[in-house]
Chain A
Amino acid sequence: MSGTSFDTVREAVAPPAGGRDLGRRGFIKGGVALAAGAAVSLKLRLDAVAAEPAYKMDDHWWAFAIDTTKCIGCGSCVRACKAENDVPDGCFRTWVERYTITRDPKLHVQTEAEKTSAAWALGGLQKVTVDCPNGALDGFPTEAPVEDAKTIEKAFFVPKICNHCATSPCVQVCPVGASYLSPDGLVLIDREVCVGCGYCVQACPYGTRYIHPVHGYADKCTMCYHRISKGLKTACVEACPVGARAFGNLKDPKSKIRQLLGTSRFKLLRPELGTNPKCFYIGLDEEVR
């Protein structure tokens, strides 16, 4: 539960980086000082953990909501996530996609093939352009991603994260049980167990997983478990300037997410796969997958 706490304990007792050539006396002195410091630090840390209000897994069932009508594509969430979770370059726990939908002005010259396409069924030739430069880490360029901006019918942003599916294919396929659904509804990865086979990366229909390029284990969004289990917000929710992201406890009728989902119409990503995702999208366009 408190992965960060234990990590901090580990860091606290770890020897300082960069060795020096110490004499025997210096070594002993240093060792005693370090041990004493570590003990105090450990004690303080454990006290701090113990002092936190008791978090009961069974009282929680976490879920996420994204209001795509609010997102402005600034990329603050991506940057916050990267900073909070030390996400390696080129890998993404969250990202933002930009959809630009254009309508061909030459509506009367379709070919027979185009007439039978889904775009035609939607009332005209519709071309969808999706871009996501570097996961939107630096937001989006101001110019339109299409040749003729006048043809743009509509455009919108869609943030993506791990869907924390209730019947998650990544949990199903993990050969060693390193990926698991926690009792409070989050799909998490035990880094001490994962073998880095990448089967979960293949099984996730949403492309939310990656193999950590340095450590070799599978990695993805944890919904900032180390924060939310202490009553804090996730980094991305904290950073979003327009409130496009929300999370909360579905078991709590007064939670923000319950109120949001109770008053909005939402959709899920690829529900036909039966993964029962717990990331609810408000205002999701048909074109988003």
Chain B
Amino acid sequence: MHGSDVIEGLTGFVFPNEVHVHWTVMIVLYPYITGLVAGAFIVASLYHLFGRHELKPVARFALVASFVFLLFAPLPLLNHLGIPERAFNIMIIPNPSSAMAGFGFIYTLYLIIVGIEVWFSLREDLVARARSTTGLKQLIFKALCLFDLTVDEKTHKVDHRVVSFFAAVGIPGACFLHGYVGFLFGAIKANPWWSTPLMFIIFLLSAIVSGISVLIFLYFFISRLRKVEVDPACVKTLANFLWGFMILDVALELLQEMSIAYEQTREWEALSILISQKLHMTYTVLQLGLFSLVPFFLLGINAVARLPRRVSHLFTFLSAIMLLAQVLLMRWNVVIGGQLMSRSFRGYTSYTPGLLDKEGLIVALVIFTVPFLLLRLIDQVVNLFPPDSAIGRWRTDKPPISSSSAS
């Protein structure tokens, strides 16, 4: 066919304006980062609100991680905008009928909620730092404490109550923020790969999966760097939650695909080729195959069998890494996959992100790395782990800025 002869990477017929994929790897990264936010926040809330005390070693870390990811979530969006200097138009002149117009408000509201919760949970540490430092550093810490260094029984109680309150308010916030991201895609009737009411639930569940996974990964990683043992009860609880949420997530995705396949609509003819050819590797083999089945079995065995601790931890760690990849692939398959199929249902385009492009892989990697570096910076200032845990004691045993360790 001429279409495929003229431009490389095209098969069949695509509308001429569809040759280039408009939403790039940046739009893959955006729901991925917001997913980490929502997932990490829910772990923090499991401790603060739902009394899962075995999660205490990672609860505060989860909360701060959530906040840090949240700060950087809009960055890929900004980088993607055709006219980024007009970004605030979305809040100044929002179009009430647009699914996207709510983003600025939902994001800001959630940022405020998480920001307040983080501040109250870190306040006592900031006060301690303000008291132990001098000069400019002290001034900065005093400013961070809003120049009130009172810490007593009463303030402790208030801090705790405020944190609990915002943990409660934040849960619907997290669900809304990320469910909403799914809705942005699910509401596009022009695209049969996106248009499903299940989309927001799938996004939400995969967000929780990725959030728990990133916490498990970081917890193991930091513990390894500090040469301390992870807390077995905490890891076990995280692993079990991860298993449960990943089952729900994958089951819903499979149900979704089964139902459109069974309905055999006109679109299915084109969608089946998308799944079996264009997304064969990223969707069928990797996302639903390797990176779902293996963690399912590893976490399942871990949940029901009595494994030696080292094996159990290895299974959990490997599953977390694979599920992080699984969710990233899910974002890719939705965002990019949905654009590969022409709305003529007669052809497919292709997309490979450039390395050095404005919206290329290096920029994506930088955007994704910065939150981790900021997390490391915050960790140097305040202890993100409880002082009575092994990973937290490392802080009191050693001066904060001593080794080459990085989190």
Contacts and interface: CB of A to CB of B under 8 A. Distances in A.
| A, B co-complexed | yes
Interface of A: 90-92, 95, 97, 118, 128-135, 141, 145, 160, 169, 171-178, 193-199, 201-212, 215-218, 273, 289
A141 B188 contact: no
A202 B15 contact: no
Interface stretch (B50-58, B82-90, B156-164, B388-396): B82-90
Contacts of A204: 190, 343
Given A175-B90, A193-B89, A289-B345, A210 B17 contact: yes
Interface in B27-84: 77, 80-84
Which 8 A-B residue pairs are closest in the complex by CB-CB distance? A196-B82, A216-B82, A207-B15, A205-B190, A131-B2, A130-B13, A175-B100, A177-B95
A220 B94 CA distance: 22
B83 to A, nearest CB: 5
B98 A172 contact: yes
Given A175-B95, A208-B17, A289-B345, 18 more contacts: A90-B19, A92-B17, A97-B13, A131-B1, A132-B13, A133-B2, A133-B6, A169-B188, A171-B97, A173-B100, A173-B187, A176-B90, A193-B93, A194-B82, A196-B83, A199-B184, A203-B188, A210-B22
Contact of B190 (A145, A193, A202, A211): A202
A217 B98 contact: no
B188 A197 contact: no
Nearest to A288: B344
B19 A195 contact: no
Interface in B1-19: 1-3, 6, 12-19
A171 B3 CA distance: 30
Contact of A172 (B12, B97, B346): B97
Given A92-B17, A129-B1, A131-B2, A174 B95 contact: yes
B191 to A, nearest CB: 7
Interface in B335-369: 338-339, 342-347
B160 to A, nearest CB: 39
Interface of B: 1-3, 6, 12-20, 22-23, 77, 80-84, 86-87, 89-90, 93-95, 97-101, 103, 184, 187-191, 266, 338-339, 342-347
Contacts of B6: 133-134
B188 A206 contact: no
Contact of B82 (A128, A141, A145, A212): A212
Given A92-B16, A201-B22, A205-B189, A175 B343 contact: no
A201 to B, nearest CB: 5
Given A176-B90, A195-B82, A196-B82, A209 B2 contact: no
Nearest to A99: B13
Contacts of B338: 202
B189 A206 contact: no
Contacts of B90: 175-176, 195
B23 A206 contact: no
A205 B191 CA distance: 7
Contacts of A289: 343-346
5 contacts: A132-B13, A173-B100, A175-B101, A197-B77, A197-B80
Contacts of A199: 98, 100, 184
